[in-house]
Chains A and B, each alone.
Chain A
Amino acid sequence: MADKIATRVAYGNTLAEIGSNENIVVLDADLSKSTRTDLFQKKYPERHFNMGIAEGNMMAVAAGLASCGKTVFASTFAIFAAGRAYDSVRNSIGYPHLNVKIGATHAGITVGEDGASHQAIEDIALMRAIPGMTVICPADAVSTAALVKQAAEIYGPVYLRLGRLDVPVIYSSDAQFSIGKGVTLKEGNDLTIIATGYMAEPAMRAAESLKAEGIDARLIDMHTIKPIDEEIIIKAARETGAILTCEEHNIMGGLGSAVAEVIVKNHPVPMDMVGIMDVFGKSGKPADLVKMYGLTPENIVEKAKSLIGRK
């Protein structure tokens, strides 16, 4: 785990790479140096449009471009992509099922100092509830690159949830991914930890600590939250008897809820969730905030242990 690179940077680099496909158009809303669509803009300025600080408009413009056959990547911070522009995303992109990929960066509380107004903790819930929307939340740069490429290849709306912070690269460069299929990072039979996005790496550290204490946790990186990988969840429920989800998102409506929906219908087992406990975030250094909000390996370990006690 040598390098650290933000998933938004991997997103920008990948857009620049796939930009040779002349059908791709990129939109931004006065944040191109932050969303890193500037990396695409430098190579293909004629297919990059700054729409100004007008996210609702940008998403509906993306829909119009897509209706004329373009593959559109529309980017801004997650809070504005999923929140401010929600109705455009829902009614102009989701309802007509148009080919727009929403590159939503700066998701979650690891946004840090900008504070609650800029920390999307409900975006997975909002996007997941739109029929036909694919929701992807990659853990590192390698998986981001692969999933952005796949998102460009499939038809239909995709929400890509990306982070601001530099995060460790957890995958080797030849790792394989496919939208809708979770990745088993570690085998184990005492319980299953299912993590998404930023939380995958702390979950890996938690699994190591648990192992040192004699608890063998299975660990799954659920990079696609919709469509969710039912098979891997049901198998984990059957074989390990307990499931703990970890997400940098409100515990309502996100990964935990998506997993619970599968478990309840197919193979109920004790479950718990690590995430934002239905409160708004605040300003602070990301490292301080993840501690304050319990998004740490320590909290995962603690919840894992008490969850096993309920088996």
Chain B
Amino acid sequence: MDDKTRLQLKKTATLIRKGIITAVASAGSGHPGGSLSIADILTYLYFVEMKIDPRNPKDPDRDRLVMSKGHCTPGLYAALAHRGFFPIEDLESFRQADSYLEGHPNMNKVPGVDMSTGSLGQGIAAAVGMALAGKLDKKDYRVYAILGDGELDEGQVWEAAMAAAHYKLDNLTAIVDYNRLQIDGDITKVMNPEPIADKFAAFGWNVISINAHDFDEIEKAVNQAKEYKGKPTAIVAHSVKGKGVSYMEDQAQWHGSAPKKEQAEQALAELDEYLKSLE
């Protein structure tokens, strides 16, 4: 990746992080932690990798992204808004009764959302279906599914993993946001899913571990997944929950609570500061 692209992606990811804070602060509820941890991956996928067209969001040949950890709408919506699927100002209407920006993804209401999710464990299964349809229809679109590490507790994730390997869905890439936190705390204390990479490998997947906040590593992994034939790929993305907002980083309590006005201002100021440092 050249320096110019990397710098541009860092700027875009920071704008998306600002969008996340704006959305949850306006709503007074929502999930900032797990949205901030995937902001860089969403930026790379939506701004570099995915074949998508905001003017034709239902194009049958498009690449698809399933937010299997459906609570991370602030991240998903901020990325879609900045990519041009809907006005950025609309993020301020997040979770309001008169808004289309539902708390969890709704594929019929929000342009660019490929699957309605919210019940953890099901999105990855829907992504398997999309990948299977791609094979049936001999299309060359790719399917991305973003999973939480807590979400891996659901047996359905592993049912889907087994099916994806069984049908050799090499057009499917699952990204596990490995931020090591779920609602009740440290994933290894609540319900230990380790060793995550080895589990996917044992289920017949190609597995790549990366730093979720390094664009070069993201790019390399996404490209490797595309080239790998005969198996789906799992990218285990080592991340920091709440990444980019100092007081939210690695704190379980910011999983599903919104910053108060002053806290939001501080977060936005920090992100602006970082933007400036990139200039």
Spell out A's residues near B (CB within 8 Å). Answer: 28, 30-34, 50-54, 56-57, 79-80, 83-84, 112-118, 282-285, 288-289, 292
Which one of B2-10, B32-40, B91-99, B199-207 is at the interface?
Answer: B91-99
Name B153's contact: one of A30, A34, A118, A285 (CB within 8 Å). Answer: A30
Q: Would you give 10 A-B contacts (Cβ < 8 Å), ordered by A?
A: A30-B190, A53-B182, A54-B154, A56-B155, A84-B119, A117-B104, A117-B118, A283-B97, A283-B104, A284-B98
Within 8 A of A (CB), among B182-213: 182-184, 190-191
A31: nearest residue on chain B (CB-CB)?
Answer: B183
Whether the pair A283, B96 counts as a contact (CB closer than 8 A) is: yes
Name A54's contact: one of B28, B97, B119, B191 (CB within 8 Å). Answer: B191
A79-B119, A283-B103 are contacts. A113–B30 as well, Cβ < 8 Å? yes
Whether the pair A30, B150 counts as a contact (CB closer than 8 A) is: yes
Assembled-state Cα–Cα distance A84/B118 (Å): 12
Whether the pair B102, A283 counts as a contact (CB closer than 8 A) is: yes
B120 at the interface (CB under 8 A from A): yes
B232 at the interface (CB under 8 A from A): no
What would 7 more interface pairs be, CB under 8 Å, given A53-B120, A116-B106?
A: A30-B182, A30-B191, A53-B150, A54-B154, A113-B30, A115-B103, A283-B103
CB distance from A228 to the nearest CB of B (A): 30
A31-B184, A33-B184, A284-B97 are contacts. A115–B120 as well, Cβ < 8 Å? no
- Determine which residue in A31, A50, A52, A112 has the highest number of CB atoms from chain B within 10 A of its CB, and name it: A52
A56: nearest residue on chain B (CB-CB)?
Answer: B155
Residues of B within 8 A of A282 (CB): 97, 102
Question: Can you list the 10 inter-chain pairs with the closest CB atoms, starting with the nearest?
Answer: A52-B191, A117-B118, A284-B97, A52-B153, A288-B97, A115-B103, A53-B153, A283-B103, A113-B95, A117-B104
Whether the pair B155, A113 counts as a contact (CB closer than 8 A) is: no
Whether the pair A50, B155 counts as a contact (CB closer than 8 A) is: no
Whether the pair A117, B191 counts as a contact (CB closer than 8 A) is: no
Assembled-state Cα–Cα distance A53/B103 (Å): 19
CB distance from A155 to the nearest CB of B (A): 29
CB distance from B233 to the nearest CB of A (A): 23
CB distance from B124 to the nearest CB of A (A): 13
Spell out B's residues near A (CB within 8 Å). Answer: 27-30, 70, 95-99, 101-104, 106, 116-121, 150-151, 153-155, 182-184, 190-191
CB distance from A75 to the nearest CB of B (A): 12
Whether the pair A80, B119 counts as a contact (CB closer than 8 A) is: yes
- Determine which residue in B97, B116, B120 has the highest number of CB atoms from chain A within 10 A of its CB, and name it: B97
Residues of B within 8 A of A288 (CB): 96-98
Residues of B within 8 A of A292 (CB): 97
Assembled-state Cα–Cα distance A83/B122 (Å): 13
A51: nearest residue on chain B (CB-CB)?
Answer: B191
Assembled-state Cα–Cα distance A308/B95 (Å): 38
Residues of A within 8 A of B97 (CB): 282-285, 288-289, 292
Assembled-state Cα–Cα distance A155/B204 (Å): 45
Assembled-state Cα–Cα distance A85/B153 (Å): 14
Name A50's contact: one of B117, B154, B184 (CB within 8 Å). Answer: B184
Whether the pair B102, A115 counts as a contact (CB closer than 8 A) is: yes
Residues of B within 8 A of A113 (CB): 27-30, 95, 103
Whether the pair A115, B118 counts as a contact (CB closer than 8 A) is: yes
- Determine which residue in B29, B106, B153 has the highest number of CB atoms from chain A within 10 A of its CB, and name it: B153
A30-B153, A32-B184, A117-B104 are contacts. A50–B190 as well, Cβ < 8 Å? yes
Residues of A within 8 A of B104 (CB): 114-118, 283
Residues of B within 8 A of A289 (CB): 97
Whether the pair B95, A57 counts as a contact (CB closer than 8 A) is: no
Residues of B within 8 A of A54 (CB): 153-155, 191
Name B99's contact: one of A30, A50, A53, A283 (CB within 8 Å). Answer: A283
CB distance from A267 to the nearest CB of B (A): 40
Assembled-state Cα–Cα distance A32/B120 (Å): 17
Whether the pair A117, B155 counts as a contact (CB closer than 8 A) is: no
CB distance from B241 to the nearest CB of A (A): 15
CB distance from A286 to the nearest CB of B (A): 10
A32: nearest residue on chain B (CB-CB)?
Answer: B184
Whether the pair A30, B102 counts as a contact (CB closer than 8 A) is: no
Residues of B within 8 A of A53 (CB): 120-121, 150-151, 153-154, 182, 191
Residues of B within 8 A of A30 (CB): 150, 153, 182-184, 190-191
Assembled-state Cα–Cα distance A151/B94 (Å): 39
Assembled-state Cα–Cα distance A288/B97 (Å): 6
Residues of A within 8 A of B103 (CB): 113-115, 117-118, 283
CB distance from A112 to the nearest CB of B (A): 8
Whether the pair A284, B119 counts as a contact (CB closer than 8 A) is: no
CB distance from B104 to the nearest CB of A (A): 4
Assembled-state Cα–Cα distance A131/B104 (Å): 33
